[in-house]
Structure 1
Amino acid sequence: MSTRTLLLTALAMLAFAGNSLLCRLALRDTDIDAASFTSLRLAAGALTLWLIMRLRMTKRISTGSWPAAAALFVYAAGFSFAYINLDAGTGALILFGAVQLSMFAWGLYRGERLSLNGSCGLLLACAGLLVLLLPGASRPPTGAALLMLVAGVAWGVYSLLGRGVNDPLAATTGNFLRATPLALLLSALFFGQARWDMPGLVYALLSGALTSGIGYAIWYTALRGLQSFQAACVQLSVPIIAALAGSLLLDEALSVRLLISAAAVLGGIALLLNAQHRRA
């Protein structure tokens, strides 16, 4: 792996973790509501990606599809509403676990078979999520956890729909452009609860333009220098970065339950990825 690829990959992982931090910070410490945050994030992301595509001198930008845009919208909305009551690290772990497990589940449905190590990894990851969601003093709120699970499954669906596209950045731009009207409709439905302030507005725009739009552009550039196995494994760092940053920057507690769950979920997914890599 070249130094350039390593640097781009590190920046992309920081951007992905930054989405969790910015969303949690906005919904915990400012007056912005979740629906407005979702709309501003998607609109800012769409505008940023559109500008990047224009700089590439690409004439045809409106790629993507409505099914993918709908999955993107469900992810973004569930993500925002879940972070009203979830810590940054907990939310990132549930999201990442749901994304990976939903994609593995689709593979099993399509007839893929797991080795013994892969089966053990799947069971370990599921057990880790179960440990996090079992009743107890440090269990995350059930409703928020379920919303984040839905967001993770939606992102998994979005990822599956995006496999094999010729130009991932153009497809993502089109999907963001299509998802923005859906988010605006959500904001209209919650118009009576709409509220925002300048810090909340800034966090939403940063989440959309910087950690989503530019973050995705950096990631697609980094992917050119990564093998599929490397690209999958490196994302294991995102929940850890989010949890540590949440503890340092947002004064969120690193509970024993979260640490045990993170070790099980991320370790299980690592086993799954390694088993797939060996079979390939």
Structure 2
Amino acid sequence: MRLFLLTSLTMLAFAANSILTRLALVGGGIDAMSFGTVRLVAGAAMLAVLMLVLRQSLTLGGRGRLIGVASLLLYMYGFSTAYVVLDAGLGALILFGVVQITMFLGALLGGEHPPIHRSVGAALAFLGLAWLLWPGEGAVLSPVHGALMAAAGVGWGIYSLSGRNASDPLQATAANFILAVPLCVMLVFLTTVDSGGLVADAHGILLAVVAGAVTSGLGYALWYSVLPKLERSVAAVAQLTVPVIALVGGLVFLGEVPSIEFALAAALVLGGVFVSVMPTGSTARRN
């Protein structure tokens, strides 16, 4: 039960992250590069403070650090930049579809053999997600931004897979964020030197700080604490609930009434996830 609650809390943080990113980039007065940068720096600052307060030390080394830092940057900037142009639903479909492929492939390469019901459940959940998020007639897919979102999916899948090896989740997450900051500054300089600079107002910066310090920094540390206890394929499927949670949050905060289609598609997603995470017969007997 504790693992279920922690995983659910992590998915809530991820959903809040999506909402904050969309709010900032669509109407928050901040560009994608500025948002990603402020988000990363705020997360690094929050995690550094926590390490110094709770551990009285700040260790930046560790196994798989290069992979963690590179995949974090790929996800954050690919995600932020793609969402400026992509329809929100289509972007989420590309992102989570690629995450599923990346993590299931990682599971197979890591010697994991997901039972057939997990694959069937994942397929059902993604079918429900496609029904829920499929864009309307006017949506146009930008190949460049679609590729950026796919790259973000690969980045997040690899970041999640590398988290299974973290012996100290808080330290690993803090090191990833802190070491990514200098690379982030270099990336910003190289991409904005001829573009007239960054764009950011107070509202957009506030949203980026919250997304970085709370739903990213703390959320990712929590994710790294949960990952070693989950099979790779289970961790992949669980994330298909994030778009549903984000949409439910939108309904709650905006006071909208959910449609029958929304209810059925959400039920299909959650049902597929439930089928996927059901224990096998041998596991159930051991428990």
**TM-score when scaled to structure 1?**
0.78
Q: Would the aligned equivalents of 1:35 and 1:183 in 2 still touch at CA under 8 Å? A: no
Equivalent position amino acid for 1:206 in 2: V
Q: Would the aligned equivalents of 1:90 and 1:258 in 2 still touch at CA under 8 Å? A: no
Tell me which moved more, 17-26 or 187-196. 187-196
SS in 2 for 1:210: helix
SS in 2 for 1:190: helix
Selected match of 1:63 from 61, 64, 68:
61
2:206 corresponds in structure 1 to 202
How far is 1:14 from its partner? 2.9
Q: Would the aligned equivalents of 2:173 and 2:221 in 1 still touch at CA under 8 Å? A: no
Across the aligned residues of Structure 1 and Structure 2, the Cα RMSD in angstroms comes to: 3.8
Uncovered stretches (5+) of structure 2, i.e. residues with no partner: none
1:190 corresponds in structure 2 to 191
Find the aligned partners of 2:53 and 2:66 in 1 and give their Cα distance: 25
SS in 1 for 2:278: helix
Q: Cα distance 1:31–1:251, how it changes in 2: closer, same or farther (>3 A)?
A: farther
Equivalent position amino acid for 1:84 in 2: V
Q: Would the aligned equivalents of 1:43 and 1:176 in 2 still touch at CA under 8 Å? A: yes
Q: Cα distance 1:258–1:71, how it changes in 2: closer, same or farther (>3 A)?
A: farther
Size of the alignment, in residue pairs? 274
1:241 corresponds in structure 2 to 245
Tell me which moved more, 65-74 or 234-243. 234-243
Q: Would the aligned equivalents of 1:121 and 1:272 in 2 still touch at CA under 8 Å? A: yes
1:172 corresponds in structure 2 to 173
1:13 corresponds in structure 2 to 11
Percent identical pairs in the alignment equals 44
Q: Cα distance 1:136–1:198, how it changes in 2: closer, same or farther (>3 A)?
A: closer
1:153 corresponds in structure 2 to 154
Equivalent position amino acid for 1:33 in 2: D
How far is 1:61 from its partner? 2.0
Q: Cα distance 1:236–1:27, how it changes in 2: closer, same or farther (>3 A)?
A: same
SS in 2 for 1:32: coil
Q: Would the aligned equivalents of 1:21 and 1:88 in 2 still touch at CA under 8 Å? A: no
Q: Cα distance 1:130–1:46, how it changes in 2: closer, same or farther (>3 A)?
A: same
Q: Cα distance 1:218–1:131, how it changes in 2: closer, same or farther (>3 A)?
A: closer
SS in 1 for 2:156: helix
Find the aligned partners of 2:261 and 2:190 in 1 and give their Cα distance: 37
Task: List per-residue Cα deviations over 1:76-126 (Å, max 9, x = no partner).
Answer: 001111221346566455434432332112223455444432343354456
Uncovered stretches (5+) of structure 1, i.e. residues with no partner: none
How far is 1:216 from its partner? 3.4
Tell me which moved more, 116-125 or 203-212. 116-125
Q: Cα distance 1:12–1:120, how it changes in 2: closer, same or farther (>3 A)?
A: closer
